[in-house]
Amino acid sequence: MPRDRKDILDLPRSGGNVSTIARFEIEYLQYLNAEAQAVGELPALARDRERLVKLYQLMSLVRVFDSKAIALQRTGKLGTYASCLGHEAAHVGIGAAMQKADVFAPMYREYGTQIYRGVKPREILLYWGGDERGNNYANAPHDYAWSVPISTQCLHAAGAAMALKIRKQAQAAVCVCGDGGSSKADFYGALNVAGAQQLPLVLVVVNNQWAISVPRHLQSGAQTLAQKAIAGGIEGIQVDGNDLFAVHEAMDTALKRARAGGGATLVEMVTYRLSDHTTADDARRYREDAELEEAKAKEPLLRLRRYLSDQGWWDDEREQAWLKTAREQIDVEVEAYLSTPRQPVGAMFDYVYAEIPEELRAQRAAAIAAAERAN
């Protein structure tokens, strides 16, 4: 009969001097519980009425944008789209803690971070509409393009962090991946070099419980994803990803440490994906309705709105007025996207090589000719 795990761990060791050479622990950070009640002394952000209202408004704007983008996809005006529903506190909190000079390497749904950093919603729509000009951010030129290949952006951010260190620039690089992405070799490679070289890097794992259809418990045997930092020799912390205060405080601490030469940090943000993985997915096929409903009760906008209302800083009248403004702003962005002239067919070949190879030149000519015949 096979031994159970405890029996295996309790097997006697043959000889030698056994001693403990290191111990580790992972902290969990939360300020507001699901009922928007303080669970400890609140950080400075919680007392900054003006900034907090603006951050809530951005979170709400992002949700309006997200809903509009899905509607555009469903009506054939946008390609496959990755929703950020339920991630608003994590994403806006990341952006709010960063400085403009920091470098951001996103995954493919961090719209709250990007809009905070100056990316226009119309640029996001252009990208998901198949137009690579959306990746050429007008107001965030040193941030990286969206990365659909899983976790390759972690290596990009590590490279940027290495450059910042070599240049002795007091800046940091930030990348985001999901819980599933933290199992990729690209993630571990970035983690390892960040620790070995003491890079000014913050690796964020937005743990939304699902890697498409694979649940968190099947992805890793680790109790937390933050503890993966231990293997890399960097700091690691797990936070409530639905608590804007916790997200911002953890990111602010990690970024200040990085800019001061204190090395890298892994921040695991525990949240929940309230949407399908993308518009090409149907989460009803693998996720129980009861699980989704339980997660909705803990979602970030509801929590922060309750806090603001309890402070007397927000009410239903302000909510409705802001939602009207947000819809108008997003409508302007949608119109800008829809009215953007399409690029000519040949443009898809023009920026692949500095000098286009002969076989690609022939393909370009054939594509242009086919387009002209179709018109």
Supply the CATH number for residue 113's domain. Answer: 3.40.50.970
88-97 helix and 300-310 helix, angle to the nearest 10 degrees: 70
- Cα separation of 261 and 258, whole Å? 5
8 domain residue, yes or no: no
| Paired strand residues for 211 | 214
Residues 304 and 368 in one domain: no
16 domain residue, yes or no: no
pLDDT of residue 3: 47
Residues 190 and 174 in one domain: yes
- Cα separation of 342 and 235, whole Å? 46
- Cα separation of 110 and 206, whole Å? 10
Residues 289 and 358 in one domain: no
- Cα separation of 301 and 308, whole Å? 11
Residues 251 and 112 in one domain: yes
pLDDT of residue 17: 87
Asked whether the beta carbons of 175 and 190 are under 8 A apart, the reply is: yes
Q: Mind telling me the catalytic residues?
A: 273, 277, 286
pLDDT of residue 241: 98
Give the residue among 74, 242, 258, 257 at the shortest CA–CA distance from 162. 258
Residues 228 and 354 in one domain: no
Residue carrying structure tokens 């902290």: 27
- Cα separation of 88 and 78, whole Å? 22
Residues 375 and 258 in one domain: no
pLDDT of residue 375: 81
pLDDT of residue 2: 46
pLDDT of residue 333: 98
The residue segments making up the domain with residue 70 are 42-342
Tell me how many domains the chain contains. 2
Residues 233 and 351 in one domain: no
- Cα separation of 252 and 248, whole Å? 6
Residues 119 and 230 in one domain: yes
- Cβ contacts of 357 within 8 Å, gap of 6 or more: none
306 domain residue, yes or no: yes
Residues 266 and 137 in one domain: yes
Residues 363 and 260 in one domain: no
How, if at all, do strands 201-207 and 210-211 pair?
Answer: unpaired
Residues 188 and 49 in one domain: yes
Asked whether the beta carbons of 299 and 275 are under 8 A apart, the reply is: no
- Reduce the DSSP state of residue 202 to 3 states and report it: strand
Asked whether the beta carbons of 198 and 264 are under 8 A apart, the reply is: yes
Q: Which residues, given as ranges, of the chain have pLDDT below 50? A: 1-3
pLDDT of residue 5: 53
- Cα separation of 248 and 91, whole Å? 10
Q: CB neighbours (10 Å) of residue 99?
A: 12
**Rounded percentage of the chain residues whose pLDDT exceeds 90:** 93
Asked whether the beta carbons of 167 and 160 are under 8 A apart, the reply is: no
Residues 174 and 119 in one domain: yes
- Cα separation of 161 and 75, whole Å? 41
5 domain residue, yes or no: no
pLDDT of residue 6: 54
pLDDT of residue 9: 54
4 domain residue, yes or no: no
2 domain residue, yes or no: no
